[in-house]
Amino acid sequence: MIRALEVCQTTGQKISDRQKNHNFEDQRYNFFKIGLYMDREKLYDRINKRVGLMLNQGLLNEVTTLAQKGYSFNLKSMQSIGYKHMAMFINNEVDWEEAVRLLKRDTRRYAKRQFTWFRKDKDMHWLMPSQFDEAEKMIKEFLT
What digits encode the pLDDT tens for the residues 77-97?
A: 999 999 999 999 999 999 999
144/90 Cα distance (integer angstroms): 54
Give start-end residues of each CATH 1.10.287.890 domain in the chain. Answer: 31-143
Confidence bin at 27 (pLDDT 50/70/90): low
DSSP secondary structure string for all residues of the chain: -HHHHHHHHHHSS-HHHHHHHTTTT---S---EEEE---HHHHHHHHHHHHHHHHHTTHHHHHHHHHHTT--TTSGGGGSTTHHHHHHHHTTSS-HHHHHHHHHHHHHHHHHHHHHHHHT-TTEEEE-TT-HHHHHHHHHHHH-
Confidence bin at 43 (pLDDT 50/70/90): very high
Confidence bin at 13 (pLDDT 50/70/90): confident
- pLDDT for 7: 82
CATH class of 31-143: mainly alpha
